Chain A
Amino acid sequence: MNVTIVDYKSGNISSVINSFKEVAQNKVKIEVTSDLNKIKSSDKVVLPGQGSFKSCIDALNTINGLVETLNDFAIKNKKPLLGICVGLQMFADVGYEETETKGLGWIPGKVTKIDNQKGKYKLPHIGWNEINIMKDSKILKDIKDKSHMYFVHSYEFVPNDKNAILATTNYSSNHVCAVEIENIFGTQFHPEKSDKIGLKVIDNFINL
């Protein structure tokens, strides 16, 4: 089996690579590439994302055919894909960071700024927060409710269909921190930076 981490030159993905390699050891091949053919032929895809919604979407669009390849992979062929942080946010129809930007439209909804309640809550939401698991999922297998995960973000994904929500976290209000629709998974938190419990999420994805 091979898992491909999409390298679309947006943000720092070394930690994602290191964590997947740590979990995979020599049993699963971890590819890091923007090569469309390699993405097409892989068993699973990881879509990381750092920076703004707009900068990530722009970076995806810079690589000719990448969005179409990802669409085929996740929507048409229904192969497993994991979005991390802005990687998850891009599943939305639209994001409002910097300026209104069209998303991948895989999970209907929007990405808006966390309400900081007039400065009562500092942004970015940085650090370890508990996740409230809403429903069972293969990707959260053996992860206890109220486990701590590491977050760094100022924007939140608001899906239209609440059934897509796997887990929430509380900061200012309850917001979505893990989603699943069929073969598409996403975490707002950073499993690659969430110590052993985060590596377990990665392990669950690799072993889906």
Chain B
Amino acid sequence: MLKNRIIPCLDVKNGRVVKGINFVDLKDAGDPVEQAKIYSDGGADEICFLDITASNENRDTIYEVVEKTSKKCFVPLTVGGGIRSIEDINKLLNCGADKVSINTAAVQNSKVVVDSSKKFGSQCIVVAIDAKQNGKGWEIFTHGGRNNTGLDAIEYAKKMEDCGAGELLVTSMDRDGTQVGYDIELMSKISSKVNIPVIASGGVGNLDHLVEGIKLGKASAVLAASIFHYGKHSIKEAKEYLDSKGIPVRI
């Protein structure tokens, strides 16, 4: 039986791990390579790096981090943040990333998703969707949550599947950094709409939130950051908890 995945996400800025509250107020939580290794040794099903300021700044540091990590961690490594072109993707994959997550570039030009999934295979193309409630539904935001596109998140998710995305990483901008739980309605609506796996992200504050993301949000995988970074819970604890709730996990 296929297991639900737990993915710790490390937000990386200038080669260091940070995690912000609603994308501001950054705190330093250590070296990404060491952190990733601790997570993979602890049973993380995948590792995710998000280069959070990459849209604006020099991002060569991330290549070095990816290269070092991929020589130490032998579970899938996804890297996102600031990916603009086929060339960026190629460079990250060559450094040892297994998947890339594309956000702003996919919104601006869906051809990037079409072309990259053809060139590298859908298996390594994750489309990251940052969505925020607008009263009627959810709208897509880009540039790390700064720009509102007015695009409907559910329709956009379907479109990305059609363009060749292998997975969708769905983040609720309303919940990110709040620790009050995933936006379950958003996750389940998107997951029901598409036939590719959905990774739920944004808002995890306790282990029950992970359970909800899978059971109610219908996510194939759950992504979380701060509950793991600051030692609140280990990956092992999270897996044992999910297992106790009847969710299939790799233990």
- A residues engaging B (CB < 8 A)? 11-12, 14-15, 18-19, 21-22, 50-52, 55, 116, 119, 122-130, 148, 150-154, 170-171, 192-196, 198-199
Contacts and interface: CB of A to CB of B under 8 A. Distances in A.
Contact of A128 (B5, B166, B196): B5
B149 to A, nearest CB: 26
Contacts of A194: 74-75
Contacts of B97: 12
Interface of B: 1-5, 40, 45, 70-71, 74-76, 93-98, 118-124, 166-167, 194-197, 220-221, 250
Contact of A50 (B95, B121, B196, B221): B121
A192 B118 CA distance: 23
Contacts of B74: 15, 18-19, 22, 192-196, 198-199
Contacts of B95: 14
A137 B195 CA distance: 35
A22 B195 contact: no
19 contacts: A11-B121, A12-B93, A12-B94, A12-B97, A15-B74, A18-B71, A19-B74, A122-B194, A122-B197, A124-B197, A125-B2, A126-B220, A128-B5, A129-B2, A150-B76, A153-B123, A171-B2, A193-B76, A195-B74
**Interface residue SS majority, chain A:** mixed
Contacts of B1: 129-130, 170
B3 A127 contact: yes
**Interface residue SS majority, chain B:** loop
Contact of A123 (B3, B94, B195): B195
Question: Taking each of A21, A127, A171, A196, which has the highest tally of chain B beta carbons within 10 Å of its own beta carbon?
Answer: A127
Contacts of B96: 14-15, 18
B2 A50 contact: no
Contact of B167 (A15, A126, A151, A192): A126
Contact of B75 (A22, A123, A126, A193): A193
Contacts of A51: 119-121
A196 B98 CA distance: 17
B195 A152 contact: no
B45 to A, nearest CB: 6
Given A122-B195, A123-B195, A124-B166, A50 B120 contact: yes
Contact of B196 (A124, A153, A199): A124
B3 A15 contact: no
A11 B120 contact: yes
A128 B221 CA distance: 11
B40 A195 contact: yes
Contact of B195 (A12, A52, A119, A129): A119
Contacts of A198: 74
A193 B40 CA distance: 11
A171 B121 CA distance: 21
Contacts of B98: 12, 15, 193
